Amino acid sequence: MTLQRQTHHIETDAPGAVAELTIFRIGPADAAQKVYLQAALHADEQPGIMALHHLLPMLQAAEEKGELKARFSILPMVNPLGMGQRLFEEHAGRYHFRSGTNFNRRWPDLFAAIGDTVAGRLTDDAGANVTMIRQTVWEWLDAQKPLTALQKLRHLVMTEAHDADYVLDLHCDNEALVHLFVTPDSMAELGELADHMGSAAQLTAEDSGGGSFDEVWPSLWRRLRAAHPKRPIPFSARAATLEYRGRHDVFDAMGEQDARGLFAFFQAKGLVSGTPPTVERAPAPLPLAATEMLRVDRAGLLAYRVELGEYVEKGQPIADLIALHGPEAFVRRTPVCANTSGRVISRNMSKFVLPGNSIAKIVGSDPLPGREGYLLED
């Protein structure tokens, strides 16, 4: 299959306005495995768009040489609704303006949707079970009647991703090192992805509490396997959120480097012919519950004491918060200290912060007290 482009026109909720969702497909139509990639679900996070811009011609060249062994579905700008959300020339692409929904939260729970239906259809044939489960997901999606533009967009995206063996959601942080959010089951098969990304941290959780897109797929298979231990159900949807540095890191050279890392991962998994380059192994995965989302308890101006990648000790000052009001305004500095020992993998680009704002992620090794339930940033 040569590189094919399909464009869906989504009627937005305002009369007369239409959004375009573009999907590229490439690879042998009869390939046993499928890879799904998307970027800019948080529309103001665009390093992934650059990476996929560079990946598309790499895949096209590989297809022309007969090297693709899987089908690829690629959505370089998966959130056209969020791309149009600007306020006074500032892009606000993380939350849907109309509903207030975080674009990467509250995706449908597929186990709740199809678990009962699947239970009566399982057999002792592992391959047939995988096919049947994916067909049941498709049937459920086909029966839905999305009303709003956001629902229509999510429906299109889930329909395209529902039968993928690998689901890779390309994001970025505020200011950060490359890292991964991934479920433990997926991490067992995505070690080479971390290696070829040059990932600084692999943060694992079975359920991070937000209903994020990358957790929709492995959660379905994990829960079906747990519910039916006597039936063969291969784990069939490896998924991850790939955090490509920070929002300002949208550069040709970085995007090409990231695309080459993805391509090497595909080679490592046999999805593309060829031998990937030898790279340094990424750090071992750690539980997301061990990562501190360090927050401030008052407003102020941040003055960081540490750089990205530094290892810090519990109790060490990470930054000072310069007072901006009261009798000591512009004079007093209050230290903001780490509550765990670990590596700083992200910081806040905005140096004016309000109470409750997160200013750093510190990757520790031991789960922190109270870090349960909702483990993500807002």
Q: How confident is the model over 329-377, as pLDDT tens digits?
A: 999 999 999 999 999 999 999 999 999 999 999 999 999 999 999 999 8
Query: Mean of the pLDDT values across residues 306-322?
Result: 98
Coil, helix or strand at residue 351: coil
Instruction: Identify the pLDDT of residue 294.
Output: 98
Task: State residue 377's pLDDT score.
Answer: 87
pLDDT band at 147 (very low <50, low <70, confident <90, very high): very high
State the pLDDT at residue 48.
98
Average pLDDT, rounded, for the chain = 97
Q: Which two three-digit tokens encode residue 270?
A: 């046999």
* C-alpha to C-alpha distance for 7 and 21, rounded to whole angstroms: 6
Average pLDDT score over residue span 312-326: 98
Residue with tokens 């540490």: 306
The answer to whether residues 174 and 349 touch, using CB atoms and an 8 Å cutoff, is: yes
DSSP-assigned states of every residue in 15-73: TT-EEEEEEEEES-TT-S-EEEEEE-SSTT--HHHHHHHHHHHHHHHHHHTT-B-SEEE
Residue pLDDT, tens place only, 155-178: 999 999 999 999 999 999 999 999
C-alpha dihedral over 31, 34, 180, 215, to 10 degrees? -150
pLDDT of 171 reads: 98
Note the residue count of the chain.
378
- Say whether pLDDT at 1 is over 80: no
Sketch out the chain's domains with CATH numbers.
Answer: 4-284 (3.40.630.10), 288-363 (2.40.50.100)
> Would you place residue 282 in the very low, low, confident or very high pLDDT band (cuts 50, 70, 90)?
very high
For the stretch 109-131, pLDDT in tens is: 999 999 999 999 999 999 999 99
Q: Which residues in 322-360 are b (16+ Cβ under 10 Å) and which e? A: bbeeeeeeeeeebebebebbbbbbbbbeeeebeeebbbb
pLDDT digits (tens, 9 = 90+) for 55-98: 999 999 999 999 999 999 999 999 999 999 999 999 999 999 99
Task: Spell 104-134 as b/e; 16+ CB within 10 A means b.
Answer: bbebbebbebbbeebeeebeeeeeebbebbb
| Phi–psi pair at 86, nearest 5 degrees | -125, 140
Separation of alpha carbons 167 and 241, rounded Å: 9
Place of tokens 């259809």: 121
What pLDDT sits at residue 81?
A: 98
Provide the pLDDT confidence category of residue 271 given band limits of 50, 70 and 90: very high
